[in-house]
Amino acid sequence: MLNNKTLLITGGTGSFGKSFTRYILNKYKGIKKLIIFSRDELKQYEMQKSFSKKELDKLRFFLGDIRDKNRLETAFEDVDYIVHAAALKQVDTAEYNPLEFVKTNILGSQNIVDACLKSNVKKVVALSTDKAAAPINLYGATKLCSDKLFSAANNVKGKRNISFSLVRYGNVLGSRGSILSTFVKQSKRGFINITDERMTRFNISMKDAVQMVDWVLRKSIGGEIFVPKLKSFRVIDFAKTLCPKCKIKKIGIRPGEKIHEEMITSSDSYNTFDLNKYYAIVGNYNEKTYKFYSKYKKINPENSLNSLKNKFLTKEQLNKIIKENLYLINN
């Protein structure tokens, strides 16, 4: 698919971007160019040092901000595919800095859509979050709005050969600011903070997240929100499995935080298809896409994918995934 093609990753110096870059370079030897688009020059410099000379021959580092539409238009010249991973994502920070999140997560997303429609980009896959499903916090609200912008872009593309799709998943273990990286840092001081012992979350490994985005790049046709089939975990079980001897401190729910998360709301369930490994939420306003997925079985109406009502990881499974993803903490 990527032979002699150019792929650009926004937010490419983040945890996902770095993992996805290595995955792509290893899998698609014939890729023409892979562009890392991000706003932090130091992270770009450090990322460059982690690749071999042979790998760097395929890589390009492009300094810019998704808030700057003109810069995006320049970056997207001769680009075939885009994975949009750039975002502001800290829930409590968003509550105190709402306009900054709006500028990046909403206006920045629209800038990407506009720049794509002025270029020859063939496909865009944007990363979403479970917090965009029935959001109660500012971060989730901005990502829901971003999701709507990318989905709606399929209806204003005219005759252009381009599609926009989304990937929605939960906590990516080992990513910067994730529950794993936060708890590991705290455990070194002999304690772990949890906000509420009832709290549950979805979990996805970095490996599975990367492979899913690759799958969506190859299989999506436009207008879908793809959701992986994930198990849940109780945050307190995660903390005790990671560090059995650590003291557990209950600090109370942070601003904007949910006790339980959703991946598919009951309203979305009416337009959700089961693709075996993944689900696809397809808005019925996109007739072509809806017709394509109608050959798949729909999930039961009003069945939300909720982290409390979901299947839970066992202690053994938790221990296994923690060990498998610890390597990401220091990368």
Report residue 246 as tokens.
């650590």
Q: What is the spatial distance between Cα 255 and Cα 258, in angstroms, rounded to a whole number?
A: 9
* Helices of type H across the chain: 15-27, 41-49, 53-56, 69-75, 91-96, 98-101, 108-117, 138-153, 179-187, 206-219, 235-242, 287-293, 315-325
Q: What is the maximal distance between C-alpha atoms in the chain?
A: 61
Which residues have a catalytic role annotated?
131
Contact 234, 184 (CB under 8 A): no
β-strand pairing of 247-250 with 191-194: parallel
Report residue 322 as tokens.
């923690």
Sheet containing 59-63, strands listed edge to edge, beginning at the edge strand earlier in sequence: 59-63, 33-38, 6-10, 81-84, 123-127, 163-167, 224-228, 278-282, 272-274, 297-298
Q: What is the spatial distance between Cα 128 and Cα 140, in angstroms, rounded to a whole number?
A: 9
Radius of gyration over every alpha carbon of the chain, rounded to an integer in angstroms: 20
Closest CA to 198 of 235, 230, 251: 235
